[in-house]
Amino acid sequence: MILPIFFIFFLTFSSSYAAVQDFCVADYTAPQGPAGYSCKNPANVTADDFVYSGLAVAGNTSNLNKVGINPAFAGQFPGLNGLGLSLVRADFEVGGVGPLHLHHGASELILVVQGTIIAGFIATDNTVYLKTLKQGDIMLLPQGLLHFQKNGGDTPALLFASFNSENPGVQLLENALFQSDLPTELISQTTSIDTAEIKKLKGLFGGTN
């Protein structure tokens, strides 16, 4: 009867472990390590560490993309630290675009709260999965794949996006190419885009070389 004994041992061990590790609220006074923030002393943790009111307001939409991004990542919302999830508010003006980008190691689930959103992603075999979403629709954007969202209507649109990461990194395709100092000649040779177009886009995005 080795199995029941092991099971009882496991239960005892795991419940005492859980009691110590219920959460790891971010301690912003200590430096951030590769695995996230260190844990605030549990004696100093309050209900406020698990509540964030910052998403009540729209992010700033005065930018090229006409989109306001307002994140609730571990850096803004201390209770998320170590739990592997987060939420972002994205406000789209008419004509607003979330340009082609990807999140390394984080899938994204978007919920359209207001207006109409056109969203899509491109799989590694170059199949395009594209949809016009209305209020209440949710759409999944699998991890590591290029995707975008844009306002598909003539009124402002609002979506919330959740990630299975408390700090999803983002790489924007256009910024990587045209806001960087990768030489124009090399960009042309490695993308088939002509140099005049690259120079124009570097001017727009602020890239050099």
Ligand X SMILES: *[C@@H]1O[C@H](CO)[C@@H](O)[C@H](O)[C@H]1NC(C)=O
**Binding-site sequence positions for Mn(2+):** 101, 103, 108, 147
Binding segment toward ligand X, per CB under 6 A, in 40-48, 105-113, 155-163, 179-187 = 40-48
CA 53 from chain centre, in angstroms, equals 18
> Does residue 90 contact residue 67 with C-beta atoms inside 8 Å?
yes
Tokens linked to 114 = 């207001």
Q: Give the residue, chosen from 15, 17, 35, 44, that forms a contact with ligand X under the rule CB under 6 A.
A: 44
**Interacting positions 57-86 with ligand X (CB under 6 A):** 60, 62
Choose between 196 and 204: whose C-beta lies nearer to ligand X.
204
Choose between 65 and 188: whose C-beta lies nearer to ligand X.
65
> Does residue 54 contact residue 70 with C-beta atoms inside 8 Å?
yes
Q: What is the DSSP string of 26-71?
A: B-TTSPPBTTBPPBPPGGG--GGGG---GGGSPPP--STT-EEEEE
Q: Give the residue, chosen from 43, 47, 51, 56, that forms a contact with ligand X under the rule CB under 6 A.
A: 43
Choose between 15 and 44: whose C-beta lies nearer to ligand X.
44
Q: What is the dihedral of CA 6, 12, 15, 18, to 10 degrees?
A: -80
Rounded Cα–Cα distance for residues 152 and 132 (Å)? 7
The distance of closest approach from Cβ of residue 118 to ligand X in the complex, given in angstroms and rounded to an integer, is: 25
Choose between 49 and 174: whose C-beta lies nearer to ligand X.
49
Binding residues for ligand X, rule CB under 6 A, total 5
The distance of closest approach from Cβ of residue 68 to ligand X in the complex, given in angstroms and rounded to an integer, is: 9
Q: Give the residue, chosen from 1, 15, 35, 41, that forms a contact with ligand X under the rule CB under 6 A.
A: 41
Three-state secondary structure call for residue 158: strand
